[in-house]
Amino acid sequence: MAQMNFGGVMENVVTREEFPLEKAREILKDETIAVLGYGVQGPGQACNLRDNGFNVIVGQREGKTYDKAVADGWVPGETLFSIEEAAQRGTIVCMLLSDAAQIAVWPKIKQYLTAGKALYFSHGFGITYKERTNIIPPADIDVIMVAPKGSGTSLRTMFLEGRGLNSSYAIYQDATGHATERTLAFGIGIGSGYLFETTFKREVYSDLTGERGSLMGAIQGLLLAQYEVLREHGHTPSEAFNETVEELTQSLMPLFAKNGMDWMYANCSTTAQRGALDWMGPFHDAIKPVMEKLYHSVETGNEAQISIDSNSQPDYREKLNAELKALRESEMWQTAVTVRKLRPENN
C-alpha cells in the first residue's frame, strides 16, 4: 500500500504493480466466488474474475437476465445456479443485486453465511442503512467492499481494452483476520486500475450524492435549463443541442478528462476564458446550497428511505418506465437521436 498526494492530501492507494494479479490468484486460490445478481455490476465483475483465472459461479433467478448469463458462457448446474444455491456454495458471497433486491433476498441467503465466509458488496447502501434494510450480517464472517467508479459495462469494456477502472475498497468487519487481503485480491481480480481506501458509509454518501448531483441529476438539470433558455430565445433544436450537449460531450469532456479543467481554461479563446472565469462563481454560489441540501438528505437517511419506499411499491416499474419515457421523448433527447446519426462515424 502506497501513500499518494491528491491535491495536497495524502491517501492510501493500492496499484496493480505492488499487488500483482499472481498474488491475488494465490490469496483467493481456495475460494469460490459466488456472484449474486447478473444485472448492472454482475456481468463485468464475474466475467473479469473468470477471465483472470478465479473460481467463479453466478446466482441468478430464471428469466431474461438468466438467459444473458447463459449467453455469456455460464453453465446451468456447473457455474450458474439459483441465488440460494450459489450463496450456499460460495465462500465469498457477492451481493451485486439491486439495493431493493438485496433487501428481498436477505432472509433467504443469510442462513448460508457461515463462519469464515466473506460477504462482499460494491455499494455501501445495505450495510450503512442496515436499520432500514435489515441486512445485519453475522459476527463471524468478513464484510468487505470493492466499488468500481463506473458501470459494470465500463468495467468490462476497459478490462477487454487492457485498461482498469479505479475502485474504492472498505472493510466493515474482519472476522477472519484476512479481510483486507481478500478485499484487495478481489479488487485486482475484477480489473481495478488502482484501489483507494474508504468506508461503507463514505462510499454510499459520496455515491448517492454523486448520482443525484454532477453525474446524473444535476447534469440533466443544468443541460435542460440551458437548452430551454436557448430554445425560448429563438434558437433551433439543433443549435441549442450542439451548444449545450454535443460540444461538451464530444469535444470538451475528452480534453479536460485528459488534461484538467485548468488546461481547458488555458487553451480556449480569450473571450471564452473571460466568460468562464466570470460566471463560474455565480454558478458555484447558486448550486452549492442545493448540494448541501442533497448531502444532508443522504446523510440523514432520507434519500435511502425514499428509494426503499419507492422500490417496494407494486407499480414501481410502471411508474419508473413512464418517467423514463418522458425523459427519452423530450425534445432535447429526441434531438440527440438525430445529432448522433449525423456524427461522421455514422455516415
pLDDT digit string (tens) for the chain, length 347 residues = 777 778 888 888 898 998 999 999 999 999 999 999 999 899 999 999 999 999 999 999 999 999 999 999 999 999 999 999 999 999 999 999 999 999 999 999 999 999 999 999 999 999 999 999 999 999 999 999 999 988 889 999 999 999 999 999 999 999 999 999 999 999 999 999 899 999 999 999 999 999 999 999 999 999 999 999 999 999 999 999 999 999 999 999 999 999 999 999 999 999 999 999 999 999 999 999 999 999 999 999 999 999 999 988 899 999 999 999 999 999 999 999 999 999 988 87
Find the catalytic residue in 123, 178, 233, 296.
123
* pLDDT number for residue 277: 96
The architecture in CATH of the region 2-198 reads 3-Layer(aba) Sandwich (3.40)
The phi and psi torsions of 274 (rounded to 5 degrees) equal -60, -45
* pLDDT number for residue 229: 98
* pLDDT number for residue 320: 94
- Could you give the CA distance from residue 300 to residue 298 in angstroms, rounded to a whole number? 6
* pLDDT number for residue 272: 94
Domain boundaries defined on the chain: 2-198, 210-346
What kind of fold does domain 210-346 have according to CATH? Answer: N-(1-d-carboxylethyl)-l-norvaline Dehydrogenase; domain 2 (1.10.1040)
Told to judge if 123 belongs to the known catalytic residues of this protein, a careful annotator would answer yes
CA geometry: angle 119, 121, 124, nearest 5 deg: 120
What pTM, to 2 d.p., does this model score?
0.88
* pLDDT number for residue 241: 97
CA geometry: angle 162, 168, 172, nearest 5 deg: 140
* pLDDT number for residue 40: 87
In three-state form (DSSP H/G/I as H, E/B as E, the rest C), the secondary structure along the chain is CEEEEECCEEEEEEECCCCCHHHHHHHCCCCCEEEECCCCCHHHHHHHHHHCCCCEEEECCCCHHHHHHHHCCCCECCCEECHHHHHHHCCEEEECCCHHHHHHHHHHHHHHCCCCCEEEECCCHHHHCHHHHCCCCCCCCEEEEEEECCCHHHHHHHHHCCCCEEEEEEEEECCCCCHHHHHHHHHHHCCEEEEEECCHHHHHHHHHHHHHCCCCHHHHHHHHHHHHHHHHCCCCHHHHHHHHHHHHHHHHHHHHHHHCHHHHHHCCCHHHHHHHHHHHHHHHHHHHHHHHHHHHHHHCCHHHHHHHHHHCCCCHHHHHHHHHHHHHCCHHHHHHHHHHHCCHHHC
- Could you give the CA distance from residue 142 to residue 282 in angstroms, rounded to a whole number? 47
